Amino acid sequence: MSIKQDSDFDKKSEEVWRSYMTTGKVPDYIGQPWFETKIIKPLFGHLPADPRCAICHYPFEGLGGKLTKILFGVEPSPLNPYLCNACERFAKNFQGGAEVEMSLLFADVRGSTSLAESMSPSEYSRLINRFYRATTKVLFDAHAMVEKLIGDAVNGFFVPGFAGPGHARVAIEAGMEILKATGHGDPAGPWIQVGVGVHIGVAFVGAIQTEGGAVTISVLGDDVNATARLGSLAGAGELIASQAAVQAAGWKSQDMQSRQLQLKGRKEGMDAWVIRV
């Protein structure tokens, strides 16, 4: 492929990704099956059962998984268990991506090292899987996309095309629901201790293919790193939202405390708010 062809391909991929992330649909010249349109696709998020595609929310198990496989040929990608084969084809055809304003959320388990030391590997695996299921259900219900499930953390992002123009408020509300889903605020206490970070900013989102052939959806940039650090600083039962996210969300609560944070790798501090369930 020539340099000009490479440039044209990159521009086309950028246009496709920006359109998909900001409007929920690809440009008209690409075309979509009727069951992948913006109106129809969100309905699949309500079909049982998890796990499901991290991008389009097609279910892989239960009645919903059987229906989508029989009717549309949708099933888990053989190379990436977090993507369906339809999203994998899309990602392979349009490798690259675009810079988009979005809200970002990182949910981290607190004290995971001590937890792992206090139980068998199988028990710890079941606990973390329960955390994954509880967290991703909240994110999928909020029309977020899940970038990764890694170690003791879940990373999600909210784009205008799916979470709507008020994605910052949706992200904060989802963060609070994650804390509630893990038992924070319950009289008996949480069944796992979790902290959440939420931030808004511009990030690169797109498809990256590994040497082994698997395609992953990645979200990259300084604001992504900042969100991860907010999540790591949040105590059990806390959501730390950046000042930018709180302002964009129009969030007001008597249970908020302002905090000036010094994030690792950043010269300047960040104004943030601590919100508790």
Taking the chain (277 residues) in runs of 10, the rounded mean pLDDT of each run is 58 92 85 68 78 85 90 82 82 90 97 91 94 92 85 92 94 98 94 97 89 80 94 95 96 84 80 92
- 182 contacts: CB under 8 Å, gap ≥ 6: 131, 134, 135, 190, 191, 192, 193, 194
- Per-residue model confidence (pLDDT) at position 6: 59
- Per-residue model confidence (pLDDT) at position 34: 61
Report how far residue 127's alpha carbon sits from residue 162's, in angstroms, rounded to the nearest whole number: 30
How far lies 4's CA from each of 9, 30, 91, in Å? 9, 21, 21
Helix (H, G, I), strand (E, B) or coil at 166: coil
- Residue ranges per domain, the chain? 3-93, 96-276
The pairing of strands 194-209 and 238-242 is parallel
- Per-residue model confidence (pLDDT) at position 121: 93
Helix (H, G, I), strand (E, B) or coil at 13: helix
Put simply, whether the predicted model's pTM sits higher than 0.85 gets the answer yes
Q: How is domain 96-276 classified at the CATH fold level?
A: Alpha-Beta Plaits (3.30.70)
Helix (H, G, I), strand (E, B) or coil at 223: helix
